[in-house]
A = this chain, B = another copy of it.
Amino acid sequence: MRARIRITLKHGVLDPQGKAIENALASLGFKGVNDVRQGKYIEVDLAEKDEGKARELVEQICKELLANTVIENYAYELVPA
């Protein structure tokens, strides 16, 4: 299975990259953009075929390595590889 993991800053944590993109969009003339937040996107190809076990593995990977859970949230979906 393949896990598509999104890691985002928690609400209230300053996001200078997102602000920079927002300002760049404004200077390029894009209107109607209220807010931009930048995060990380990580695709992990797993040998595991069982969805429950894959979910457990991805949770562990996110908590132990990918996300700093003090300031970041993670979310993911599993798709067939």
Contacts and interface: CB of A to CB of B under 8 A. Distances in A.
Nearest to A15: B43
B45 A36 contact: yes
Interface string A18-62: 100100110010111111111111111111100000000100110
A33 B46 contact: yes
B41 A7 contact: yes
Contacts of A32: 46-48, 57
Contacts of A45: 33-36
A36 B41 contact: no
A41 B39 contact: yes
A10 to B, nearest CB: 13
